[in-house]
Structure 1
Amino acid sequence: MSDRGPKDLLTRTAEDSRCSGEGRFSLPCAFRCAGEGIRYAFLSQRNLKIQGALGALAVIAGFVFRISQAEWLALVLCIMVVAVAEVVNTAIESVVDIASPEWHPLAKSAKDAAAGAVLLASIGSVACGLIIFVPHLFALI
């Protein structure tokens, strides 16, 4: 085993999968690592904070309008798809920054495609939100 410090224990390496004959990364450590990844994305990405705030507003609107179970399902899925896309985008950006510290057209394309995935998820979520909430808003008029 290498000489890694306590903070490095939250980072899995190929060596970890084979050390001590265990062949597995512990489940609690896997959850800690996943939590750290989500935390990093949330703290470092302005857009994830904005998307989180908009998602929270949509949830509040869901309670106010007493949306149906199917509408809740669609709303939760939309919020999660956008959040997942943003976290994956953050991971891709980080990997590209390590692999290509200098500007490269393929690095740009990778980052643009990852950001495009977030945009597509966001557009779909806005469309779904309109489908859910516009009828409720018209019912008030």
Structure 2
Amino acid sequence: MAKPNLDKRNLLQRRIASFGHAFRGIWMALRSELHLQFHAVATVVVIGLGFYFELTATEWMMVALAVGTVWSAELVNTAIEALTDLVSPEYHPLAGKAKDVAAGAVLVAAIAAMLVGLFIFGPRLLALLH
């Protein structure tokens, strides 16, 4: 006879632990990656501006998607760099390519986020100057 309650409890514990691992990964990357620290500061500034300018729900969604995309790209880039360093401690052209492409993904996400920010905050910031 199966033990359904124990199996469900074990599954729930594993799911909860997986969130802990994910948060630990974010924290480790945040502590070690200068670019992610820059993105963290930018995120705080953007959130502050969002409250100051009283963004609409749609604008908040666009900002959240842009910020989340940049953070996700940066975290994946960090993981690829770490794994590449592990499997190829010496320089190899394919390892360099992997790192460059991952960094390029972050750049694309950051440029897209910057454009979102310009469209949403640009007119409001210009209005403050006039």
TM-score relative to the length of structure 1 = 0.80
Q: State how far apart, in whole Å, the 2-side matches of 1:56 and 1:112 are.
A: 27
Q: Confirm whether residue 95 of structure 1 aligns to residue 83 of structure 2.
A: yes
Q: Confirm whether residue 86 of structure 1 aligns to residue 86 of structure 2.
A: no
- Deviation digits for residues 97-134 of structure 1, max 9, x if unmatched? 11101100100000000011001000000000000011
Deviates further, 130-139 or 78-87:
130-139
- Residue 59 of structure 1 corresponds to 47
Alpha-carbon shift at residue 28 of structure 1 (Å): 2.0
Q: State how far apart, in whole Å, the 2-side matches of 1:79 and 1:59 are.
A: 10
- Could you tell me which runs of 5 or more consecutive residues in structure 1 were left unpaired when the two chains were aligned: 1-23
Alignment RMSD (CA, Å): 1.9
Q: State how far apart, in whole Å, the 1-side matches of 2:58 and 2:16 are.
A: 33
- The correspondence of residues 40-79 of structure 1 with structure 2, limited to 5 A, is 40-79=28-67
| Higher helix proportion (structure 1 or 2) | 2
Q: Tell me the SS of whatever aligns to 2:89.
A: coil
| The one of 99, 102, 120 aligned to 1:111 | 99
Q: Tell me the SS of whatever aligns to 1:103.
A: coil
Deviates further, 31-40 or 44-53:
31-40
Q: Tell me the SS of whatever aligns to 1:26.
A: helix
Give the ranges of 4+ consecutive aligned residues of structure 1 lying more than 4 Å apart after TM superposition: none
Q: State how far apart, in whole Å, the 1-side matches of 2:127 and 2:104 are.
A: 35
TM-score relative to the length of structure 2 = 0.86
Alpha-carbon shift at residue 49 of structure 1 (Å): 0.5
Identity of matched residues, %: 42
Q: Tell me the SS of whatever aligns to 1:128.
A: helix
- The correspondence of residues 12-31 of structure 1 with structure 2, limited to 5 A, is 26-31=14-19
Count, aligned residues: 121
Q: State how far apart, in whole Å, the 2-side matches of 1:108 and 1:98 are.
A: 13
Deviates further, 62-71 or 124-133:
62-71
